[in-house]
Structure 1
Amino acid sequence: MKIKVNKFVREYLEEFNVLMSYPNGKVCRYKDDEIINVPDTGFMEEYSTINKGNNACQMGSFSYSNAIIPRLDIKMGRYCSIANGLSFIAGKHPLDTISTSSFIYDPNFYIFKDASIERIKKSYTHTPYGMLIPPLPPTIFENDVYVCTNALLKPGITLHTGCVVAQNAIVTKDVPPYAIVGGSPARILKYRFDELTIKRLLELKWWEYHFADFDNIDPKKDINYYLDELEDRIIKRIIKPFDPKKMQFEELIQRNKQQILITKPTSQSSLQPTPQEQIKLLQDKINNLEINYQKALKTKNHLSYKLGEALIRANKNWYKGGYVKFIFEVIKIKKEHKANINNTQGKAYQ
């Protein structure tokens, strides 16, 4: 599946230390809006990486590829080392049909499509390729597999644990554990270790442990000395199997669908005011309240306001002769209002 890299994709990859840039292993090597191709399912264990290209595949911890991954259906174990130039033999044409030509199975190849329409007024009735050539199973790289430069592999084979594929080899069948193969077609040149040592390695399953737990075991010593030391640490429970975190491709695909929220820079006016500014704001509010209070007093002392209040009271008490009382109250209100005005004017001239 094709996905577009965004902030969430990068953060997820960085969380598991996969697909990081070289030599800075803490930074995702992809930039925003780059397109990468990933399997629909599967995982990459932490500390695994593909240093070239935009294709990914299932991969175990401490494995790396300096080659572009040609197929998404590769399943790779731990501690594998893949050199530049890895490629796969292309899909074949059917050999047991009337012709090997692609008119048999390809409805879109224009020379056959156009010729068929010209001849019989419709596209040729093709047979789907998958019905003629069964799909191949995934190509398996077990553990500690070393593939040298420019190796060519047949899809669907298994490279068993500990094997080595020599430079420019063309590999068309499974490679046994710890075998070194080379040539065209590839053949077994030799084995890395004797039969008993290979059996011991496979039984020990050393790749299930973190390499840092092997610290201070001398790799220059004989392989069986190394295995003795390693077994001793395992028996004494000094070390235990490594259980790495897994970056799931399904989750990566979901991260690709998340939307980035773009926030505008905060304007100066929305910043938190200083203490001095807060005091000034409070003073302004107090002044506004005082002004509003004085306006309210003036309104309450206005003749119309007082007459309105008297009318409301009269309306509420109409059954008690409220309207009759209202006439006398109006006369009283007008006299008091006039007296207040005269008093105010008199004070103004003093």
Structure 2
Amino acid sequence: MFFNFFIPDFLKEYIYLTKLKMKFRSCKIYSFRIAKNVEMGKSVIIMNNAVVHKNCKISDYSYINSNTFLGYAEIGKFSSVGCNCQIGVPIHPSNYISTSPFTYGPNNLFDVPSFYEEFQTKTIIGNDCWIGSNVVIMQGVRIGDGAIVGAGSVVTKDVPPYSVVAGIPSKFIKLRFNQEKIDALMDLKWWEKDIEKIKEYKHLFISGDKWYFNMK
């Protein structure tokens, strides 16, 4: 403990980042601001200064871009999260005498144990989602598989699979595909298959907007 006191912060950060890289060997991690009990799948990418809070889960082949904050969230496979996003952000009590954490949180003014949990409801981002930069997604919101959230949006309600939403607060813009194509994708659930099986669908992924015709 005495020796620890004299280790410069930058060196502590480097050591912790090295431990993270060793723990998640298949991943590319560039931020030390990741809690110890985070679950991470294969080939995940976490960019500089991203914050991943405790109890978060990030599944295979998803990435979190720079300066994004994950409060209490689960992210599916093959999802892309842009820069400067706030996902599963902390909440404050609106029915207490005060909304300030100095009155109810850790190290409060009254020297009593914290009696309010800022992270109460998990935010779920599905598989193959695209979350644009500067997006805020409130606690407890569920983003369906294949959905797109436009840059700068504030998402306060669930987003259906394969839909596009944008705005403050976010509003439904359109479906990415017609219902027949969405049903086909939800039935295929390609992201749940192992990598070798996904590679067998190469002809779909490289056929651009003609993918549906090549499914038949």
- TM bucket (normalised to shorter chain) is 0.7 to 0.9
- 1: distance between equivalents of 2:107 and 2:33? 26
Structure 2 unpaired stretches of 5+: 1-12
CA offset digits 1:142-187 (Å, max 9, x no partner):
1000011111110221111000000111001111100100011001
1:189/1:98 CA distance change after superposition, 3 Å: same
Q: More strand per residue: 1 or 2?
A: 2
Identify the residue that residue 63 of structure 1 maps to in structure 2. Answer: 62
Alpha-carbon separation, structure 2, partners of 1:5 and 1:86 = 24
Are the structure 2 counterparts of residues 224 and 68 from structure 1 closer, same or farther at C-alpha, using a change threshold of 3 Å? same
Taking only the aligned residue pairs, the percentage that are identical comes to 24
Deviation at residue 68 of structure 1 after TM alignment: 3.2
Letter in 2 for 1:50: I
Task: Identify the structure with the greater helix proportion.
Answer: 1
SS in 1 for 2:208: coil
Which of 24, 28, 31 lines up with 1:13 in the alignment?
Answer: 24
Cα deviation, 1:8-37, whole Å, max 9, x if unaligned, reads 6544433xx2025xxxxxxxx57xxxx442
Please tell me whether residue 226 in structure 1 is matched to residue 214 in structure 2: yes
Tell me whether 1:171 sits opposite 2:155 in the alignment: yes
Structure 1: which 5+ runs fail to align?
Answer: 21-28, 114-122, 229-350
Equivalences for 1:41-120 in 2 at 5 Å? 42=39, 44-53=40-49, 55-56=51-52, 57-71=56-70, 73-88=72-87, 90-100=89-99, 104-106=103-105, 108=107, 113=109
Task: Report if aligned partners of 2:76, 2:125 keep a CA contact under 8 Å in 1.
Answer: yes
Equivalences for residues 130-209 of structure 1 within 5 A? 130=117, 135-209=119-193
2:7 corresponds in structure 1 to none
Aligned 8 A contact 2:68 2:82 in 1: no
TM-score (norm 2): 0.75
Moved more, 99-108 or 177-186: 99-108
Higher-Rg member (1/2): 1
Runs of 4+ in 1 over 6 A off after TM superposition: 124-127
Deviation at 1:79, TM superposition (A): 1.0
Letter of the 1:73 counterpart: Y
CA apart distance, 1:96: 2.7
Matched residue, 1:340? none
Give aligned pairs, total.
Answer: 197
TM-score, reference length from structure 1: 0.49
Match of 2:34 in 1: 37
- SS of alignment partner, residue 190 of structure 1: strand
